[in-house]
């Protein structure tokens, strides 16, 4: 560092060569300046990541002592704090340990889709094998025609309207929400059965043509569905084939147990 005595400054006056006090002050000032240069967005992201790390650690501890349900809650909160795909792998494993196979399938699927290309071929093979095994215990629900702002709960659990979701076979309670409007329907899903639900709210104009994402073998039925609340259009179709066959991408992430 060069010092110009002809132009004194605050730093120059205290950082004279050989002054240990000056070095201590310099070490104090530089980190302070660097902290000042960190943007609020970066600081917020680091804070969210730190919170997620704490929750992942909590989930790991819970899973290690056999409390799978607490682990599921911790990993879910961690993903909400900082949505890293690595957390989805932990969530899938915890859901499997809690014997919630539909949640495990959905988490494994999201893990593969969102994780990127970092996973080893060994991990990819492991996850695909787990999916094949767990799918055998599922029924399947697909929502068609949902517009922006629409959300759905199956037995109180949020589901992604953009993908086919694994659900427990049997009678399922489906809640559909858009703005302040809520519709509730009861749908029966058999083991290995695919059920498609087409939804339209009262102010939406239904398109009676075959949906662009539809499959030719769908036979639209207006039976087997109990509707609570008028004005919701529902079509049900079933098939024994696996709707996810060949649809899982090859982008994966690695098997982290921690952030």
Residue 95: per-residue pLDDT: 95
Residue 3: per-residue pLDDT: 46
Note whether 112 and 190 are same-domain residues.
no
Note whether 109 and 149 are same-domain residues.
no
pLDDT in tens, 125-161: 888 999 999 999 999 999 888 778 888 899 888 888 8
* pTM for the model: 0.59
| CB neighbour list of residue 211: distance below 8 Å, 6 or more residues apart | 144, 145, 198
227 pLDDT above the threshold of 50: no
Q: Which domain range does residue 109 map to?
A: 40-135
Domain endpoint, select from 102, 135, 168: 135
Note whether 112 and 170 are same-domain residues.
no
Higher local confidence (pLDDT), 233 or 94: 94
Asked if the structure places residue 19 within a domain, the reply is: no
| Total structural domains within the chain | 2
**CATH number reported for the structural domain that contains residue 69 in this entry:** 1.25.40.10
Note whether 45 and 129 are same-domain residues.
yes
Asked if the structure places residue 44 within a domain, the reply is: yes
Residue 203: per-residue pLDDT: 61
Residue 43: per-residue pLDDT: 74
pLDDT in tens, 37-57: 556 667 778 889 999 999 999
Give how far Cα 190 sits from Cα of 166, 167, 196, 225, Å.
11, 10, 12, 13
Is residue 195 within 8 Å of residue 237, measured between CB atoms?
yes
Note whether 48 and 112 are same-domain residues.
yes
Domain endpoint, select from 135, 160, 183: 135
The alpha carbon dihedral of 58, 60, 90, 121 has a sign of positive
- What is the spatial distance between Cα 148 and Cα 150, in angstroms, rounded to a whole number? 6
Note whether 166 and 119 are same-domain residues.
no
Note whether 113 and 152 are same-domain residues.
no
Q: Of the given ranges (120-129, 161-170, 201-210), which has the lowest mean pLDDT?
A: 201-210
Domain endpoint, select from 116, 135, 154: 135
Note whether 89 and 120 are same-domain residues.
yes
Note whether 175 and 125 are same-domain residues.
no
């Amino acid at each position: 560092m060069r010092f110009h005595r002809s132009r004194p400054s605050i730093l120059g006056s205290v950082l004279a060569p050989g002054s240990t006090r000056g070095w201590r002050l310099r070490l104090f000032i530089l980190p302070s300046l660097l902290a000042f240069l960190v943007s609020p967005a970066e600081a917020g992201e680091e804070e969210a990541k730190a919170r997620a790390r704490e929750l992942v650690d909590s989930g790991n501890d819970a899973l290690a002592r056999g409390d799978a349900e607490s682990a599921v809650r911790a990993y879910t909160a961690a993903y909400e704090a900082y949505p890293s795909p690595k957390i989805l792998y932990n969530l899938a494993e915890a859901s499997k340990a809690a014997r919630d196979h539909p949640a495990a399938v959905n988490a494994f699927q999201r893990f593969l889709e969102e994780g990127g290309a970092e996973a080893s071929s060994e991990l990819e093979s492991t996850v695909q094998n787990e999916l094949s095994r767990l799918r055998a215990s599922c029924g399947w629900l697909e929502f068609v025609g949902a517009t922006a702002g629409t959300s759905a709960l199956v037995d109180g659990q949020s589901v992604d309207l953009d993908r086919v979701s694994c659900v427990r076979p049997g009678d399922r309670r489906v809640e559909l929400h858009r703005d302040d409007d809520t519709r509730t329907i009861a749908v029966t899903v058999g083991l290995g059965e695919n059920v498609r639900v087409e939804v339209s709210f009262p102010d939406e104009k239904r398109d009676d043509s075959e949906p662009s994402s539809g499959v030719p073998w769908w036979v639209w039925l207006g039976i087997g569905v109990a509707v609570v609340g008028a004005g919701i259009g529902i079509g049900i179709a079933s098939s024994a084939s696996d709707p996810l066959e060949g649809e899982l991408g090859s982008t994966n992430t690695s098997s982290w147990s921690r952030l």
